[in-house]
Amino acid sequence: MIDIAILRSDPDRVRENIKKKFQHHKLPLVDEALELDAKKRALQTEGDSLRAARNALSKKIGSLMKEGKRAEAEETKAEVARDAERLAEIEAEAAEVASKLKAVMMRIPNFISDDCPIGKDDSENVERKRFLEPKVPDFEVPYHLDILEKLAGIDIDSARRTSGQGFYYLTGDVARLHSAVLTYARDFMIGKGFTYCIPPFMIRSEVVSGVMSFEEMEGMMYKIEGEDLYLIGTSEHSMIGRFMGQTLDEKQLPLTLTSYSPCFRKEKGAHGIEERGIYRIHQFEKQEMIVICKPEESESWYEKMWNYTVELFVSMGVPVRQLECCSGDLADLKYRSCDVEAWSPRQKKYFEVGSCSNLTDAQARRLGIRYKTENGSVFAHTLNNTVVAPPRMLIALLENHLRADGSVEIPEVLRPYMGGLKEITPKK
């Protein structure tokens, strides 16, 4: 949510930002917000005047009673009662207008970075950097489900019977590798000075509406029937929600946190064969990183955070690239965002394995996250980034470390978490 003061002083800047995001259908929201804001302030002014008049009249009543002017005092009391009645109407109307204004403001997208590429959708995202040389082996790399099945590491048929499409059982050494990646990622981030957390996996609607736009919520979140609770789509949701309505001490910042959680997503829509299997699923686990910092620090943290993910992947021998998201691919709360994509020897292209975002103060405004300064309190900046999400990481690991005989070499950094195991071999 943007600062209403900017909307008042420079509505054209807001309109131009909406156009850059190719959301022209939202342009009327600017005038709607300005109209509601003007009405809200007019009601506030009228209410303040009535309160001041009521206080003055109340004092006058006391004076009139002392002077024995009972009739005049009664007339003044009646006037106070009329003012009180009108004030109650104003307060009710002001609350309704404020609610409508907030709803409109929450639909206006955050300002994007000046460095953000302008484009309509993810097809116009821009590659910035590559890390490690991508390689294609001299043998055919099978589809990742075939690799997993030969390693006796997955059972999708049983998961379809128990849970439906978009779920799986991991078994044996593959399941162990999955856990090893998460544990290594946890220790990697602790080594970077982040505090490890395990958050709640369900959150209330006020947190959901604070951490994401309505469009995202509708397309992602699972609602718990009969309760004001949603399953989290990522631990960022509950991790940022933890600080909702709080004013932090400036000395606490930056807060650097890394969190583990299962994630639950609707993942609507049809996808190609490479996005079946374990690429796009309803339930997975993830290690996340969260930063809450001062405004002047957020761009520096953004650079650090996506580089941490790159460093993690490179340490496991997986070639990756950084892809800057264009304006049309940014969710409404994001100031800037980039994807870290891993190389797929099978597809001979990169695929997304993580996403880093700077939301500036947009998320903090919705949730009321401030910090104290010498001159008062200001809204903090929030950032989030995927450390690793093992289902996609497994695909990257399997394809990039597959041998011609069907065995998979375990990266050296993961071996301590695998009891020293150096490879996973096909099972008969």
Task: Say yes or no to pLDDT of 58 above 60.
Answer: yes
Angle of the 28-66 helix axis to the 11-20 helix axis, nearest 10: 150
- 272 pLDDT above the threshold of 70: no
**Residue 115 located in a structural domain:** no
pLDDT of residue 289: 97
Mean pLDDT score, 203-208: 92
Q: What is the pLDDT of residue 379?
A: 97
**262 belongs to a structural domain:** yes
Between 257 and 90, residue with greater pLDDT: 257
Lowest mean pLDDT among 152-166, 237-251, 407-421: 152-166
Residue finishing a domain among 79, 105, 131 = 105
How confident is the model over 267-291, as a mean pLDDT?
A: 75
CA-CA distance, 287 to 187, in Å (whole number)? 10
Q: What is the mean pLDDT of residues 144-155?
A: 94
Residue 326 has φ and ψ, to the nearest 5°, of -80, 170
Domain housing 189: 122-424
Tell whether 153 and 297 lie within a shared domain: yes
Mean pLDDT for all residues in the chain: 91
CATH for 95: 1.10.287.40
Q: Measuring CA to CA, how many Å separate 424 from each of 151, 174, 196?
A: 7, 8, 29
Domain assignment of residue 312, yes or no: yes
pLDDT per residue over 396-416, tens digit each? Answer: 999 999 999 999 999 999 999
More confident residue, 250 or 166: 250
CB of 343 closer than 8 Å to CB of 396? yes
User: Rounded CA gap, 260 and 353, in Å?
Assistant: 16
Contacts of 42 (CB under 8 A, 6+ apart): none
Q: Residue 140's beta-bridge partner residues?
A: none
Of 105, 132, 167, the last residue of a domain is: 105
Q: How far apart are CA 409 and CA 415, in angstroms?
A: 10
Residues 101 and 135 in one domain: no
Q: Which of 72, 105, 138 is the last residue of a domain?
A: 105
Same domain flag for 68 and 17: yes
Half-sphere CA count of 249, side-chain side, radius 13 A: 2
Question: What does the alpha-carbon distance between residue 224 and residue 129 come to, in Å, rounded to a whole number?
Answer: 41
| Structure confidence at residue 62 as a pLDDT band (50, 70, 90) | low
Q: Does residue 399 lie in a domain region? A: yes
Residue 294: left if φ>0, alpha if ψ -120 to 50, beta else—which one?
Answer: beta
Is 270's pLDDT higher than 50? no
pLDDT at 281: 86
CA-CA-CA-CA torsion sign (269, 275, 277, 281) = negative
What residues does 255 pair with on adjacent strands? 292
In this structure, the answer to whether residues 91 and 157 fall within a common structural domain is: no
Show Cβ contacts of residue 121 under 8 Å, excluding neighbours closer than 6 positions. Answer: 326, 328, 329
Could you report the per-residue pLDDT of 217-245, keeping only the tens digit for each? Answer: 777 889 999 999 999 999 999 999 999 99
Q: What is the mean pLDDT of residues 175-179?
A: 96
pLDDT at res. 71: 74
Q: Which of 47-61, 126-140, 269-283 has the lowest mean pLDDT?
A: 269-283
- Whether residue 46 has pLDDT greater than 90: no
- Angstrom distance (rounded) from CA 176 to CA 154: 12
Express each pLDDT in 319-359 by its tens digit. 999 999 999 999 999 999 999 999 999 999 999 999 999 99
CATH at residue 407: 3.30.930.10
Domain count, the chain: 2
- Same domain for 213 and 285? yes
Nearest Cα residue to 89 out of 49, 56, 58, 47: 47
Local structure of 321: helix, strand or coil: strand
